[in-house]
Structure 1
Amino acid sequence: MVAGGGEDRLAQEFVQFAVDSGVLRFGQFKTKAGRLSPYFFNAGLFDDGAKLGRLAQFYARRIIDSGIEFDMIFGPAYKGIALAAAVAIELARLGRNVPYAYNRKEAKDHGEGGTLVGAPLRGKVLIVDDVMSAGTAARESIALIRAAGAVPHAVAIALDRQEKATEQGVDVDHSAVQYVRDKLGLAVCAIARLADLLHYLELHQGGELGGHHAQVLAYRERYGVQE
């Protein structure tokens, strides 16, 4: 299940939170694909305890509402580490206590060694990350989870940009989220989507965000995918 658009109240609350936190910014930003985007979402700016705690509440609510079944949480290095821990804490607070694990970028050659930290990877695993640009991090996580004998089952992200992915520098007709969902077979839930951001901007055209709606809409018309 993916976050809905338009009247999705949770998504609208999240977009407002991201704007207020300075995580969602408007202007001109270069993406990994080399596009000039009129908005930028930097989850690394959820950078204090209060923001991270509230972010985890949004993830937990969306995950629970999605109905996705999972046995544990996995956070890909590096942003996913803090996200997985925070979400595990919030889920436990809500009565859903599950183990979590994460990976290192470099293998440790002493102590317990290896690249995996935390609970052993078992059962159906929910990957928690911020955004999905090309699906690369998801594929790496999937490989790690399968190598450990567990099942990569679903991915939870903060924002689905709903835009075309690139392969070898060429735009393709599907997004990274669609690739992971349709080609790799994992369920994907997002707290909010680009459609939700557009709805938010449409409602705030008379304020200081006025003008950004047209720019973001034009970007989606050029790079957006069909849902």
Structure 2
Amino acid sequence: MDWKKEFIDFSFKKQALKFGAFTLKSGRKSPYFFNSGLLSTGKDIIKIGVFYAHSIIESKIKFDMLFGAAYKGIPIVVATSIALKNYYNLNISYSFNRKEQKNYGEKGDLIGKNIQNKKIIILDDVITSGTAIRHSIDIIERKGAHISSIFVLLDRKEKGKRNLHTINHLTNKTSYKITSIITIEDLISYLLEDKKLKKHIPGLIKYREKYGIY
């Protein structure tokens, strides 16, 4: 099954993926934009969980738990845990971080099962330069867990403190593997097959040449 094309079709129809002119958080001017927050119905999040679950199983990566990077990674990690149970009969625990530490009740900066000594897969929606992912890495390693891999819907493969298919952690000098359902190269291939959307290809190629990792 062509997961990449199916996912792009799904995202484009839901208008989560758009082509045009957009200013990113980094300040870069991008010819495309992906907003997973628009994939917000019950049907949408079930489908996303299935994409992640299939990708995780096909990767054959060993893991004990899933970790969702707040905020967008939270519904993703819940949906993926459900999909792993429904499709593969794997009853996998999950955890996610708070943006601010809680000083009452259960306290702490994590919600979910204790992650200490666990092999963790981090789930998030998009990775650009990797700043947000590094925050999750810091939390997980501080809690004494081990990172098996990082899974995202879209890897923009842009210059930052990272290499192709990996993200480097600045403190421990370790590189972590990134698995993505789609990349900017997949978007370009997709546009080549669509007469109406082909006009966006030069913009994506120019952007990749300026900011992309090869």
Q: Give 3-state SS (helix, strand or coil) of 1:129's partner.
A: strand
Distance 1:40 1:127 in 2: 22
Q: Which residue in the other structure is 1:193 paired with?
A: 183
Structure 2, unpaired ranges of 5+: none
Identity %: 40
**Which consecutive aligned stretches of 4+ in structure 1 deviate over 6 angstroms post-superposition?**
none
Aligned residues: 210
Instruction: Give the letter for the 2:184 counterpart.
Output: L
Match of 1:143 among 135, 138, 144: 138
Q: Give 3-state SS (helix, strand or coil) of 1:97's partner.
A: coil
* 1:18 is aligned to 2:8: no
Tell me by how many angstroms 1:202 deviates.
Answer: 0.4
Tell me by how many angstroms 1:180 deviates.
Answer: 3.6
Q: Which residue in the other structure is 1:115 paired with?
A: 109
Structure 1, unpaired ranges of 5+: 1-7, 168-173
* 1:53 is aligned to 2:46: yes
Higher relative contact order (CA 8 A, sep 6+): 1
Instruction: Give the letter for the 1:151 counterpart.
Output: H
Distance 1:108 1:66 in 2: 35
- Alignment deviations for residues 74-106 of structure 1 (CA, whole Å, 9 cap, x no partner): 111111111111111111112222100011111
Q: Which residue in the other structure is 1:154 paired with?
A: 149
Q: Contact 2:49 / 2:83 at 8 angstroms: preserved in 1? A: yes
**Further displaced range: 179-188 or 147-156:** 179-188
Distance 1:151 1:179 in 2: 15
Compute the TM-score of the two structures, normalised by the length of structure 1. 0.86
Instruction: Choose between structure 1 and 2: higher strand proportion.
Output: 2
- Alignment deviations for residues 34-61 of structure 1 (CA, whole Å, 9 cap, x no partner): 2211100011111111111111111111
Q: Contact 1:202 / 1:213 at 8 angstroms: preserved in 2? A: yes
Tell me by how many angstroms 1:175 deviates.
Answer: 5.0
* 1:219 is aligned to 2:207: yes
Q: Give 3-state SS (helix, strand or coil) of 1:74's partner.
A: strand
Instruction: Give the letter for the 1:43 counterpart.
Output: S
Compute the TM-score of the two structures, normalised by the length of structure 2. 0.91
Instruction: Give the letter for the 2:111 counterpart.
Output: V
Q: Give 3-state SS (helix, strand or coil) of 1:220's partner.
A: helix
CA RMSD of aligned residues (A): 1.9
